[in-house]
Structure 1
Amino acid sequence: MAADHAAFSETEYAQNAPASLQSVLAERIRQIQIHCFYPEQDEEFVDGDLAIAAACYATEAFVQATETEGAMRIVPESWPWMAVTWRPKDQRRNLVKAGALILAEIDRLDRAAASAQKEERHV
């Protein structure tokens, strides 16, 4: 079994991307194209809003897995935006939304780090 894992490469994984990865990437693209959540706008969320939103959707998925009462009915107190924007769905969809929001936050952090490095070089 260990030999099988050793032969597994990033390229192979990318070429044979599972439905989960494809779904998360498609959701991130949808967030940009349909909802106009452009990377430039993500720069405004410096207080961890994207990560908190992702955590809310992931928590909702957990609640759906463990409870039948209360799931999808209550906007989490930590939801960073207006209540009307809280739109949970089924467990898998909530995890996909969480993954896409995490990607957005990682991208935002990477852009901020690159910008900071660029500024340091010009000082």
Structure 2
Amino acid sequence: MNNRYDGTNGNGYQPMPTNSPKIPPGPDTPAPSALDGIGLIRLERDRQKACEGWTAEGDSTYRNDELVRAAACYALYNTDFRDLALVADSLWPWHLSWWKPRDRRENLIRAGALIAAELDRMAAAEGSKSA
């Protein structure tokens, strides 16, 4: 199933340029090199929200495992599993212009942030069912 979108992700967001800004560090923000894996993932998720405009409301519209599939693409990219045709054509849920793999460390951080977004989306969906 190919759910690629043409120009937006279906939520009205336009893709950000590849040189999207990093969150300016606040006075209490540790340098990324001082953070553990969870801290790096949290920092990336915060960057996605602050700099790229991703929101819980936007994430709540996903119904076809888009966040999980994107996370899998980033997690698999720098491994021995390098069937890029499979990643690009079967797993990547959005327009290919949004596929911006980097080095192994950055891709794993992105994958973790996307998984965190999916977990938050699931928790919010469960909360709205019980309310």
Q: TM-score, normalised by structure 2?
A: 0.67
Question: Of the candidates 60, 69, 74, which is equivalent to residue 43 of structure 1?
Answer: 60
> Which one has the bigger helix percentage?
1
Count residues with an aligned counterpart. 97
Q: For 1:38 and 1:112, locate their aligned partners in 2 and report how far apart those are by CA, in whole Å.
A: 14
Q: For 2:37 and 2:111, locate their aligned partners in 1 and report how far apart those are by CA, in whole Å.
A: 12
Instruction: Give yes or no for the alignment of 1:114 onto 2:127.
Output: yes
Which amino acid is the alignment partner of residue 58 of structure 2? Q
Identity over aligned pairs, percent:
36
The unaligned stretches of length 5 or more in structure 1 are: 1-16, 119-123
Question: Of the candidates 88, 112, 123, which is equivalent to residue 76 of structure 1?
Answer: 88
1:1-123 mapped onto 2 (5 Å cutoff):
18-62=35-79, 66=80, 76-77=88-89, 78-118=91-131
Larger radius of gyration: 1
Q: TM-score, normalised by structure 1?
A: 0.71
Question: 1:75 touches 1:83 (CA, 8 Å); kept in 2?
Answer: no
* 3-state SS of paired residue (1:34): helix
The unaligned stretches of length 5 or more in structure 2 are: 1-33
For residue 18 of structure 1, report the CA deviation from its aligned partner: 4.8
